[in-house]
Copies of this chain bind each other. A is one copy, B any other.
Amino acid sequence: MNIEPDLCRVEDALEIIVGKWKPIILLHLLKNGTMRFSEIKRSVPEITQKMLTKHLRELEEEDIIERVVYPQVPPKVEYSITEYGKSLEPILAAMHEWGTKHTVHKKQKLVNQTKTI
């Protein structure tokens, strides 16, 4: 396939996927379907609440995930991947696969460099 650079829509996909925590959030939601805010937080403990909220809102804005608020105290909010959001999975899978190979490639490069020293 040959993408005409001037008609490139790669950025549109990147905008949605890029963000320090977005891929992991998406993978968790793809795996589990539906999760509470606190569940996601526990799955990704290093993320701050601010960042988690921000990224979830952005994904919701693009119809990748759905947000359902249960009006109760303490609050309960459930996030789930939409059908549309699921269409991102092949891209994530392709990137994951490539990333795995790339990790090996980099290790191999390091070995070769060490050999020549």
Residues on A lying within 8 angstroms of B by beta carbon are 1-5, 8-14, 16-18, 23-24, 27-28, 30-31, 43, 62-63, 84, 87-103, 105-106, 109
Contact = CB atoms under 8 A, between A and B. Distances in A.
A55 to B, nearest CB: 14
Given A27-B3, A100-B9, A95 B14 contact: yes
Contact of A2 (B31, B62, B90): B31
Given A11-B99, A14-B95, 16 more contacts: A3-B31, A5-B31, A9-B103, A10-B27, A10-B95, A10-B96, A12-B99, A12-B100, A13-B94, A13-B98, A13-B102, A62-B106, A63-B109, A91-B91, A91-B95, A91-B98
Nearest to A94: B91
A52 B52 CA distance: 33
